[in-house]
Copies of this chain bind each other. A is one copy, B any other.
Amino acid sequence: MLPEPIKKFAEIFSTLPSIGNRQAIRIAFKLINGGKAKIDELAKTISDLRYLKTCSRCFFVHMERDNLCSICSNPNRQQNVIAIIEKETDLISLERTKKFKGRYLVLGELSKTGILDTVQKLRLNHLKDLIKKEFDSAKAEEIIIAVNPTTYGDINASIITKELAPFTKKISRLGRGIPTGGEIEFADEETLASSIDSRS
Q: Chain A, interface size: which category?
A: 35 or more
Q: Is the CB of B16 within 8 A of A70?
A: no
Does A182 sit at the interface, judged by CB under 8 A? no
Within 8 A of B (CB), among A36-59: 36, 39-52
Q: Judging by beta carbons under 8 Å apart, are A12 and B43 in contact? A: no
Question: Is B52 a contact partner of A47 (Cβ separation < 8 A)?
Answer: no
Chain B residue at minimum C-beta to C-beta distance from A4: B63
Of the listed residues A6, A13, A49, A50, the one surrounded by the most CB atoms of chain B closer than 10 A to its CB is A49
Copies of the protein in its oligomer: 2
A33–B52 Cα distance when bound, in Å, is 11
The reply to whether A31 and B3 contact each other, CB–CB distance below 8 Å, is no
Of B18, B27, B33, B49, the residue contacting A32 (CB under 8 A) is B49
- Contact A1/B39 with A30-B16, A31-B46 known, Cβ cut-off 8 Å: no
> For the complex, is A84 an interface residue (Cβ under 8 Å from B)?
no
Residues of A that sit less than 8 Å from B by CB: 1-6, 8-9, 12-13, 16-19, 22-23, 25-33, 36, 39-52, 61-63, 70-71, 87-89, 92, 95, 108
Q: A3-B63, A9-B49, A32-B88 are in contact. List 5 more A-B contacts (CB 8 A).
A: A2-B92, A25-B89, A29-B61, A36-B50, A43-B44
